[in-house]
Amino acid sequence: MLKLLESADVLVHNFRSGTLEKWGLGYDDVLQSLFPELVLCHVTGFGADGPLGGHPGYDAVVQAMTGLMSINGDPRNGPVRMGTPVVDIGTGLIACNAILAALIERGRSGLGQKIEVPLYDCAISMLHPQAANALMSGNIPVATGNGHPNIVPYDMFETRTGKIYLAVGNNGQFAKLCAVLMRPDIAADDRFVDNAARIAHRAELREVLAKCLAELEAETLEDMLLNAGVPAGVVRNVSEALAHPHTIYRNMVVEMGKYSGTGIPAVFDRTPGSIRRAPPRFGQDSRKILLESGYSEAQISQMEEHAIVFGAGEVDSGQL
């Protein structure tokens, strides 16, 4: 590890707090002095200290503990785990941003630093807008199903051919929605004249819109509303979304040999990225990395023999 760190900018790990110290690789007492430019990012469950410090954390458990489950799902059914591991994914993105910020700062100071990114802290930061609502009002946020707690209409509706989601964020968009539905009188109704009124009369407005949408076709309505400047979308399953023409056009599905996966969502103008290889197998590149780090074939074979390195043999990246 110390040999590999000689040429490394960043070390990321998610072992429990104290593990690197137990191995003689602690940042404060070893790594910082050996590699003063190294940025170390430690992803933890709850942080190293505090009432829950040092405990292991998992996405679903942290969702439960931070209130994320309590604001998800149908209010009649109680708390529901979010379908994607939003805490894991969000923590990864926050960790990436933190690492990049530390590298920029290193360019000014010449020094690396240690970063701690706990799942728990990240989950709390993602409670939007519910945390602000609770802190400012003193009220306990509750699940609102598919509806937005602060904006109306921002909800899912049934059409003749499937479900559609309306995300009407302002009065102008609401007027356009009513125009597309050929019901301008709805926008003029005192009960629905602005967002505050629409929140106060949420149930009545939902009933009115549900009747208007019930006999329309979801795909046609999506096209009409988007062209009119109203955020709206057909509710699709994952396979339908992956096969959608826009997904294909945006190169968000990549196929390479037997591998299929999603593409790169950030489009760089001057230095565009691309998927050039399938995800490697565990240990697929170990031998290559060790050779680049100055180890001999004999030394690598000895490490394999003693189970220090696993699966270091070269594997075709197209094989799965």
Predicted local distance difference test score (pLDDT) of residue 282: 87
314 falls in which pLDDT band (50, 70, 90)?
very low
317 CB-near residues (< 8 Å, 6+ apart): 277, 278, 280, 284
H and E: helices and strands count for the chain: 16, 8
CA distance 249 to 235: 19
Q: Which two tokens stand for residue 122?
A: 């990240």
Q: Let me know if residue 145 belongs to a domain.
A: no
Q: Let me know if residue 300 belongs to a domain.
A: yes
CA distance 136 to 116: 28
Q: Let me know if residue 41 belongs to a domain.
A: yes
- Mean of pLDDT over the chain: 94
273 CB-near residues (< 8 Å, 6+ apart): 264, 266
Among 163, 144, 147, smallest CA distance to 213 is for 163
- Is the Cβ–Cβ distance between 281 and 310 less than 8 Å? no
Range of the domain at 181: 154-235
Q: What is the mean pLDDT of residues 147-166?
A: 96
Category of 316 on φ-ψ map: left (φ > 0), alpha (ψ -120 to 50) or beta: beta
- Classify 64 as helix, strand or coil: helix
CA distance 68 to 272: 35
Task: For residue range 119-137, list pLDDT tens digits in order.
Answer: 999 999 999 999 999 999 9
Predicted local distance difference test score (pLDDT) of residue 319: 42
**Catalytic pick among 88, 189, 190, 285:** 88
Residue type, 207: E
Q: What is the CATH number of the domain that holds 210?
A: 3.30.1540.10
Is residue 316 predicted with pLDDT exceeding 90? no
Rg (CA), the chain: 26
Task: For residues 177 and 271, state if they share a domain.
Answer: no
Q: What is the CATH number of the domain that holds 49?
A: 3.40.50.10540
Is residue 235 predicted with pLDDT exceeding 60? yes
Is residue 315 predicted with pLDDT exceeding 70? no
Task: For residues 173 and 194, state if they share a domain.
Answer: yes
CA distance 246 to 249: 5
How far is C-alpha 84 from the geometric centre of its chain's CA atoms? 8
- Is the Cβ–Cβ distance between 11 and 103 less than 8 Å? no
Residue 88 designated active-site: yes
Task: For residue range 18-67, list pLDDT tens digits in order.
Answer: 999 999 999 999 999 999 999 999 999 999 999 999 999 999 999 999 99
In total, how many domains does the chain have? 4
Task: For residues 220 and 170, state if they share a domain.
Answer: yes
Is residue 12 predicted with pLDDT exceeding 80? yes
Predicted local distance difference test score (pLDDT) of residue 312: 52
Predicted local distance difference test score (pLDDT) of residue 320: 39
Task: For residue range 177-221, list pLDDT tens digits in order.
Answer: 999 999 999 999 999 999 999 999 999 999 999 999 999 999 999
Predicted local distance difference test score (pLDDT) of residue 310: 83
Task: For residues 206 and 256, state if they share a domain.
Answer: no
How many angstroms separate the most distant Cα atoms in the chain? 82
Domain boundary among 81, 102, 137: 137
From the CB of residue 55, how many other CB atoms can be counted at a distance below 10 Å?
15
Task: For residue range 85-104, list pLDDT tens digits in order.
Answer: 999 999 999 999 999 999 99
Is residue 145 predicted with pLDDT exceeding 60? yes
- Is the Cβ–Cβ distance between 5 and 63 less than 8 Å? no
Is residue 236 predicted with pLDDT exceeding 70? yes
Percentage above 70 pLDDT, the chain: 97
Task: For residues 120 and 12, state if they share a domain.
Answer: yes
Among 80, 11, 12, 87, smallest CA distance to 46 is for 87
Predicted local distance difference test score (pLDDT) of residue 186: 97
What are φ and ψ of residue 42, in 5° steps?
Answer: -110, 110
Task: For residues 121 and 6, state if they share a domain.
Answer: yes
Is residue 247 predicted with pLDDT exceeding 70? yes
Task: For residues 271 and 294, state if they share a domain.
Answer: no
Task: For residues 231 and 242, state if they share a domain.
Answer: no
Is residue 263 predicted with pLDDT exceeding 90? yes
Q: What is the mean pLDDT of residues 305-320?
A: 63
